[in-house]
């Protein structure tokens, strides 16, 4: 691993200057790391548009933020359910109409460890459908606006990318034959990661002006493991959350905020906490397994994702 470019303590929000005039879009910003990222950016004067699925939870999150940061905090909601391609299309149209510019789109939302194989309304295994296909279509539909804004795209992934199948299961993307909550979550996060790096390749080839970053939040105390996880996993993850190496949701937000705001980061890198097992510790560049950048898999996933979301990507 290289020396941390931000020194021994790694990247922290102390590096942030005044962000007035900047606009950040965050998926899944009513809870966990997305909520904390929103607060950090808003506290520096930025505007944040939350792309969340649940209006009640989002209104509460916005009220909590305004109670902490003041009623003039520039935070709003555009309802977006990443599980439904029609909702993503609707939300993207609303963003393109009502948001003047996008300094960064942070693809943060996810579901994890879903106990039994379930499907999105479009027929995708739900973790792949929400975490990957939903974001793939969203990025596609906002791409022109992000480019016009000289903006960035941030993919929030997981160290789980190397704990599952370590490849994309093209012959059975829905895991009809071998569904397993952990492997299937890891598969969806690997897909997001591959998408991020392939998007970089295509942007470079097309000589476009958009930066793409891939990062992970380490192990952070959030609400990621829900009632949709098995009882065994809920117990395991609640014990796991007590470990001293598991960090706060706020610290888990640092890598995505860094990627959204920092200039001169190495796009080819993979960012996150760099302590033991990359669970917590100074935020910087992490080692990454080489199978992520297998060119044949990158290209095939791109084609499959275009087909499944029904939208060609113009890059
Ligand atoms: N926590 C960790 O240790 C850890 C480790 C590795 C990677 N990650 C990654 O970190 C990111 C943030 O997760 P978190 O830990 O902060 O979990 P979290 O507290 O559960 O937050 C996830 C957010 O995603 C939203 N979401 C879920 N399904 C959605 C959908 N269909 N459409 C729109 N939004 C949806 C949730 O909204 P609702 O409240 O409406 O469900 C919530 O706002 C995820 O990408 C996750 O994979 C987390």
Q: Could you tell me the distance, in angstroms and rounded to a whole number, from the CA of residue 111 to the centre of ligand 1?
A: 6
Catalytic residues: 185
* Residue 306 C-alpha from the chain's centroid: 19
Q: Residue 39: its pLDDT value, please? A: 98
Other C-beta atoms lying within 10 Å of the C-beta of residue 245: 14
Element containing residue 235 per DSSP (H, E): helix 231-240
pLDDT digits (tens, 9 = 90+) for 68-94: 999 999 999 999 999 999 999 999 999
Q: What are phi and psi of 260, to 5 degrees?
A: -75, -20
d(CA 295, CA 297): 5
Strands (E), the chain: 23-27, 47-51, 75-77, 104-107, 152-156, 211-215, 270-273, 283-286
As for how many domains the chain has, the answer is: 1
pLDDT digits (tens, 9 = 90+) for 12-34: 999 999 999 999 999 999 999 99
In a domain, 10, yes or no: no
What tokens appear for 217 in the block? 């939040």
Q: Residue 3: its pLDDT value, please? A: 87
Ligand 1 pocket residue status of 255, Cβ below 6 Å:
no
Q: List, in order, residues 6 or more apart from 79 with CB less than 8 Å away.
A: 52, 53, 55, 58, 87, 91
Q: Which residue owns the Cα nearest ligand 1 atom 46?
A: 110
Ligand 1 pocket residue status of 34, Cβ below 6 Å:
yes
In a domain, 9, yes or no: no
Task: Enumerate long-range contacts of 263-266, CB under 8 Å, 24 or more apart.
Answer: 265/211, 265/213
Pocket test for ligand 1, best of 25, 27, 28, 247 (most atoms within 8 A of CB): 28
Atom of ligand 1 nearest to the CA of 160: 6
In a domain, 113, yes or no: yes
In a domain, 5, yes or no: no
What does pLDDT average to in each consecutive run of 10 residues of the chain (315 residues)?
87 98 98 98 98 98 98 98 98 98 98 97 98 98 97 98 97 98 98 98 96 98 93 93 95 98 96 97 98 98 98 94
- 283-286 sheet: strands from edge to edge: 75-77, 47-51, 23-27, 104-107, 152-156, 211-215, 270-273, 283-286
Q: Residue 20: its pLDDT value, please? A: 98
Q: What CATH number is attached to the domain comprising 40?
A: 3.40.50.720
Q: Residue 2: its pLDDT value, please? A: 61
81-120 in b/e burial notation, b at 16+ Cβ within 10 A?
A: bbbbbebbbebbeebeeebeebbbbbbbbbbbbbeebeeb
Atom of ligand 1 nearest to the CA of 226: 20
Ligand 1 pocket residue status of 36, Cβ below 6 Å:
no
In a domain, 229, yes or no: yes
**Domain, as residue range, for 140:** 17-309
In a domain, 6, yes or no: no
In a domain, 121, yes or no: yes
């Amino acid at each position: 691993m290289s020396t941390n470019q931000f020194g021994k303590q790694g990247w922290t929000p102390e590096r942030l200057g005044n962000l007035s005039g900047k606009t950040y879009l965050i998926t899944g910003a009513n809870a966990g790391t997305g909520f904390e990222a929103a607060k950090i950016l808003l506290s520096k004067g930025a505007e944040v548009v939350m792309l969340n699925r649940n209006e009640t939870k989002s209104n509460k999150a916005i009220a909590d933020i305004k109670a902490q940061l003041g009623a003039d905090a520039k935070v709003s909601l555009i309802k977006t359910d990443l599980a439904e391609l029609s909702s993503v299309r609707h939300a993207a149209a609303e963003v393109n109409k009502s948001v003047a510019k996008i300094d960064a789109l942070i693809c943060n939302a996810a579901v994890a460890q879903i106990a039994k194989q379930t499907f999105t309304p479009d027929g995708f295994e739900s973790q792949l459908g929400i975490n990957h296909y939903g974001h793939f279509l969203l990025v596609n539909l906002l791409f022109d606006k992000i480019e016009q804004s000289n903006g960035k795209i941030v993919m929030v992934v997981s160290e789980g990318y190397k704990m599952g199948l370590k490849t994309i299961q093209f012959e059975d993307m829905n895991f009809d034959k071998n569904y397993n909550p952990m492997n299937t979550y890891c598969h969806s996060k690997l897909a997001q990661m591959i998408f991020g790096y392939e998007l970089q390749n295509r942007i470079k080839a097309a000589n476009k002006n958009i930066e793409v970053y891939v990062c992970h939040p380490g192990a952070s105390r959030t609400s990621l493991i829900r009632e949709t996880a098995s009882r065994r996993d809920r117990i395991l993850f609640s014990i796991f959350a007590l470990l001293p190496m598991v960090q706060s949701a706020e610290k888990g937000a640092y890598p995505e905020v860094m990627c959204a705001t920092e200039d001169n980061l190495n796009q080819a890198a993979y960012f996150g906490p760099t302590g033991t097992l990359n669970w917590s510790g100074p935020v910087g560049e992490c080692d990454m397994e080489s199978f992520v950048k297998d060119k044949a898999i990158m290209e095939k996933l791109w084609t499959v994702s275009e087909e499944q979301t029904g939208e060609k990507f113009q890059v």
